[in-house]
């Protein structure tokens, strides 16, 4: 066989194998036996080994074959992966319909597509000329992690788009959910327990952990499936609406849920919600609600976005699952800010597929309001299907053996004084040497969304604190190999991995450092705004309250909390030692962010934009160092007004905020007018 003959046979084999993969994994309708399939695959491998230069990325042989990765590189999303607004009941679903009617100026029923809301890991697959080139996690919505090698192993993800029904687009970003079917999840856990491994908590965690493996062969061994339901950026891809999009995704070879329905009007939407709620426990995968989308693409474009969510879609959440169990005792946990939280230790109970052994009681006022006692039978639910909580006491099941609970007036960790400030529901330990707070602060500092120090788990943190090796987060950067390697369950490789992860964390952006420091009232979003506004930690440390109030989202309470943190000499000493250790303390702008016309400026978009979606416009601002807000205030710098701009434009004029046309905004960005924005 010469090279040309080999190339022709490989092309035939790849198409035939992918066809049978599609029938087996997506359609559940195989046409040939396993033995026949194996014969085709062996022939493919035989030819590729003889002609290695003919191996292509879309070959079925490449589903497993990439070497383990050292880390996941960041992948910017061309179009942000927005989150959805939530509706928790029928009233909020009807409010959604009313908002659409007001915005569109019409009251006739709209066409919607109702789909199950998968409880898995969101992912994006980028296809160029029909070939899968990149797979990424959602990340923060703007930047995900490159998990291409792992997603290639998922059999329901086509490596090449089918082209027998529709022309293949030049570019399309297909979005969907990676899930593990419930039955396969239970089987996976039985296998893990048989090997003496810790079972996964729930299918979602199992799916997420499987995709984020550094070794793709581990991912390949997990029973993952991918359901497609949306697209991001595209070229040469046109559909009339969401229903047409789902059909197009099917045609291209993706697994698409059969539970989606196209309906008209909110009454039918609610009917579909009730239907899927009734099927919830029978479905092969975990769902936590429905997603409702306006069907027509033209109306979606007209409706645009509000904040970081599409105006034309909403997630209608199912009620949390609840079960009955008994409170064996109530203990008190101490958090990183000293807050004392009562926690119920429960007789183990399965709630929504997860074994729950503890549940939060929030604070002493909640304990009193619900009348919770040790020994009570209670309803337990997973709030948002995630965090277990006690929701109701079954007082009629009491037998007199129950014991009242009283919050301690001394810290259960350090024995220090506990105070409850006026206006607060929580009691706090005010001891600066409290080991429980120290452990929680270190755990938060090392968490993925903060300094992202891998290998530093709770048990290792406990050892570091209890042996006096780490008193605060700055001490992490002084750890030596010989100190770490002798700790329990540590070896040379794991000790070095920890030290390497600590060293790597020094290059985390300033926003991550600010979030990691655990400043009260400062979450991830505000940390980014503070880093961008002040440019470095020195300027932020010296900022007066009136300076802080100039930052979008900072009010008097937040400004006071920030000022209190930096006025504490112990906190300033930690920051000094972090800086000396080499932790980044300055805001580093992306390559194209140093544009003074955007840096620190807040843009608000209103009306319908002609050449781009609102999220595209916001992405242009963010990429150049600006900020995108959803409402107009005196802190706004520019309002960009598209067609049919309404109250935001009027408010901008009243406040004297500069108003730009779409063409003026594009010129400011350096993008030509009249052209589609990528």
> What's the CA gap between 388 and 201, in Å, rounded?
13
CATH number of 322-419: 2.40.50.140
**Contact assessment for residue 548 and residue 539, using Cβ atoms and an 8 Å cutoff:** no
φ/ψ (deg, to 5) at 74: -70, 145
Cβ within 8 Å of residue 83, ≥6 positions away: 141, 308, 309
What is the torsion angle, in degrees rounded to the nearest 10, for the CA atoms of residue 461, residue 462, residue 468 and residue 472?
50
Residue-range domain boundaries for the chain: 3-63, 86-317, 322-419, 435-505, 510-581, 602-669
Cα–Cα distance, 237 to 231 (Å, whole number): 10
**What is the CB neighbour count within 10 angstroms for residue 417?**
12
Q: Which of 434, 404, 423 is nearest to 342 (CA)?
A: 404
The alpha carbon of residue 543 and the mean position of all alpha carbons in its chain are separated, in whole angstroms, by 32
In angstroms, the Cα distances linking 39 to 17, 54, 261, 414 are 10, 20, 40, 67
Among the CATH numbers 3.40.50.720, 3.40.50.2300, 3.40.50.450, 1.10.287.610, which is that of 3-63? 1.10.287.610
Task: For residue 353, give every residue at least 6 positions away whose Cβ sits within 8 Å of its Cβ, in sequence order, or none.
Answer: 182, 185, 202, 203, 286
Where is 34: in which H helix or E strand? helix 34-50
Report helix, strand or coil for 76. Answer: strand
The yes-or-no answer to whether 510-581 and 602-669 have a common fold is no
Q: Supply the pLDDT for residue 24.
A: 65
Residues 288 and 384: their CA atoms lie apart, in Å, by 8
pLDDT of residue 122: 93
- Quick check: helix, strand or coil at residue 8? helix
Question: Which residue is listed with tokens 């992490």?
Answer: 476
Burial (CB < 10 A; 0-12, 13-18, 19+), residue 490, is middle
- Say how far residue 473 (Cα) sits from the centre of its chain: 26
**Token reading at 280:** 């919830």
Whether the Cβ atoms of residue 294 and residue 303 lie closer than 8 Å to each other:
yes
Rg of the chain in Å (alpha carbons): 28
Contact 320, 349 (CB under 8 A): no
Q: Which residues pair with 128 in a beta bridge?
A: 131, 171
Neighbours of 460 (CB within 10 A): 20
The CATH homologous superfamily to which domain 435-505 belongs is 5' to 3' exonuclease, C-terminal subdomain (1.10.150.20)
User: Catalytic residue numbers?
Assistant: 117
Q: 167-182 in b/e burial notation, b at 16+ Cβ within 10 A? A: ebbebbbbbbbbbbbb
Terminal-to-terminal C-alpha distance of the chain: 45
Residue 436 near residue 333, CB atoms below 8 Å:
yes
Cα(300)–Cα(101) distance, integer angstroms: 13
At residue 671, φ and ψ (nearest 5 deg) are -105, 135
pLDDT (0 to 100) of residue 666: 84
529 phi and psi angles, rounded to 5 deg = -65, -40
Secondary-structure class of domain 510-581 per CATH:
mainly alpha
Phi, psi of 128 (to 5 degrees): -115, 120
Give me the sign of the Cα torsion angle 162, 166, 167, 168.
Answer: negative
DSSP string of 254-297, one letter each residue: -B--TT-EEEEHHHHHHHHHHHHHHHGGGSSS-EEEEEEEESBH
Cβ-contact 606, 646 below 8 angstroms: yes
Q: b/e string for 41-76 if b means 16 or more Cβ within 10 A?
A: beebeebbeebeeeeeebbbbbbeeeeebeebeebe
Q: How far apart are CA 535 and CA 524, in angstroms?
A: 16
pLDDT along the chain (678 residues), means of 10: 88 86 69 76 86 83 59 86 86 94 92 94 95 91 89 93 92 96 86 74 84 86 94 93 96 95 96 93 89 95 82 90 91 88 92 81 89 94 69 93 93 89 80 84 90 90 92 94 91 92 93 91 82 87 90 84 90 94 79 64 83 70 75 86 80 87 83 41
Element (H, E) at 90: helix 90-104
Q: Would you identify the CATH topology of the domain 86-317?
A: D-amino Acid Aminotransferase; Chain A, domain 1 (3.30.470)
Reduced to 3 states, what is the DSSP secondary structure of residue 649?
Answer: helix
Largest CA-CA distance found in the chain, in angstroms, rounded? 87
Distances (CA, A) of 137 to 86, 123, 199, 261, 526: 22, 5, 23, 27, 23
- Distances, alpha carbon 7 to alpha carbons 159, 465, 643, in Å: 18, 61, 54
Report the DSSP beta bridge partners of residue 214: none
Instruction: Please state, as a whole number, how many other Cβ atoms lie within 10 Å of the Cβ of residue 597.
Output: 13
140 CB-near residues (< 8 Å, 6+ apart): 524
Say whether 609 sits in a helix, a strand or coil: coil
Rounded CA gap, 73 and 415, in Å? Answer: 45
Q: Is the pTM of this model over 0.75?
A: no
φ and ψ of 283, to 5 deg: -70, 150
| pLDDT attached to residue 433 | 74
CATH class of 602-669: alpha beta
Q: Are 207 and 353 in contact (CB under 8 A)?
A: no
Query: Minimal CA–CA distance to 669: which of 611, 607, 606?
Result: 611
């Amino acid at each position: 066989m010469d090279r040309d003959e080999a190339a022709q046979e490989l092309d035939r084999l790849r198409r035939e194998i992918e066809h049978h993969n599609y029938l087996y994994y997506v359609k559940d309708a195989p046409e040939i036996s396993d033995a026949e399939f194996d014969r085709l695959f062996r022939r493919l491998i035989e030819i590729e080994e003889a002609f290695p230069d003919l191996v292509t990325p879309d070959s079925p042989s490449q589903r497993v074959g990439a070497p383990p990765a050292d880390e996941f590189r960041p992948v910017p999303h061309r179009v942000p992966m927005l989150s959805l607004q939530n509706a928790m009941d029928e009233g909020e679903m009807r409010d959604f319909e009313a908002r659409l009617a007001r915005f569109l100026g019409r009251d006739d029923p709209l066409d919607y597509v109702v789909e199950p809301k998968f409880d898995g890991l969101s992912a994006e697959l980028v296809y160029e000329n029909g070939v899968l080139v990149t797979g990424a996690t959602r990340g923060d919505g703007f930047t995900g992690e490159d998990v291409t090698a792992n997603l290639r192993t998922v059999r329901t993800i086509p490596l090449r788009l089918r082209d027998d029904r529709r022309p293949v687009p030049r570019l399309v970003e297909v979005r969907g959910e990676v899930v593990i079917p419930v039955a396969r999840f239970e089987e996976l856990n039985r296998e893990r327990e048989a090997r003496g491994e810790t079972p996964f908590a729930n299918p979602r965690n199992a799916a997420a952990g499987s995709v984020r493996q550094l070794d793709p062969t581990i991912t390949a061994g997990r029973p993952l499936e991918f359901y497609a339901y949306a697209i991001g950026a595209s070229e040469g891809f046109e559909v009339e609406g969401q229903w047409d999009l789902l059909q197009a995704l099917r045609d291209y070879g993706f697994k698409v849920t059969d539970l989606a329905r196209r309906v008209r009007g909110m009454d039918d939407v609610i009917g579909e919600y009730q239907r899927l709620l009734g099927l919830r426990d029978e479905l092969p995968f975990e769902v936590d609600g429905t997603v409702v989308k306006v069907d027509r693409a033209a109306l979606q474009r007209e409706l645009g976005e509000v904040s970081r969510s599409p105006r034309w879609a909403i997630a209608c959440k199912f009620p949390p699952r609840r079960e009955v169990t008994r409170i064996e005792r109530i203990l008190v946990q101490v958090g990183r800010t000293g807050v004392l939280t009562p926690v119920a230790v429960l007789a183990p109970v399965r709630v929504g597929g997860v074994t729950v052994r503890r549940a939060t009681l929030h604070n002493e006022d909640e304990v009193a309001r619900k009348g919770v006692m040790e020994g009570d039978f209670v309803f337990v639910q997973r709030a948002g299907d995630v965090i277990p909580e006690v929701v109701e006491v079954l007082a009629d099941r009491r037998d007199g053996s129950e014991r009242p609970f009283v919050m301690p007036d001394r810290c259960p960790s350090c024995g220090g004084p506990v105070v409850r400030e006026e206006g607060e529901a929580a009691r706090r330990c005010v001891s600066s040497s409290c080991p429980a707070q120290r452990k929680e602060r270190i755990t938060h500092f090392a968490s993925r969304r903060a300094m992202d120090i891998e290998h530093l788990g709770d048990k290792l943190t406990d050892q570091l604190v209890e042996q006096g090796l780490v008193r605060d987060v700055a001490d992490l950067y002084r750890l030596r190999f010989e100190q770490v390697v002798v700790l329990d369950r540590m070896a040379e490789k794991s000790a070095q991995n920890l030290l390497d992860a600590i060293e790597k964390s020094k290059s985390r952006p300033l926003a991550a450092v600010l979030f990691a420091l655990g400043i009260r009232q400062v979450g991830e979003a505000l940390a980014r705004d503070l880093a961008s506004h002040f440019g470095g930690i020195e300027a932020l440390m010296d900022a007066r309250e009136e300076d802080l109030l100039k930052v979008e989202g900072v009010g008097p309470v937040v400004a006071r909390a920030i000022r209190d943190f930096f006025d504490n000499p112990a906190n300033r000493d930690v920051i000094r030692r972090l800086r000396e250790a080499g932790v980044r303390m300055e805001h580093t702008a992306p390559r194209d962010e140093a544009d003074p016309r955007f840096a620190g400026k807040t843009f608000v978009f209103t009306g319908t934009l002609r050449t781009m979606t609102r999220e595209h416009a916001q992405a242009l601002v963010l990429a150049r160092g600006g900020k995108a807000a959803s409402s107009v205030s005196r802190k706004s710098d520019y309002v960009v007004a598209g067609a049919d701009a309404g109250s935001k434009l009027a408010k901008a004029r009243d406040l004297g905020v500069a108003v730009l046309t779409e063409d003026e905004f594009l010129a400011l960005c350096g993008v030509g007018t009249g052209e589609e924005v990528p």
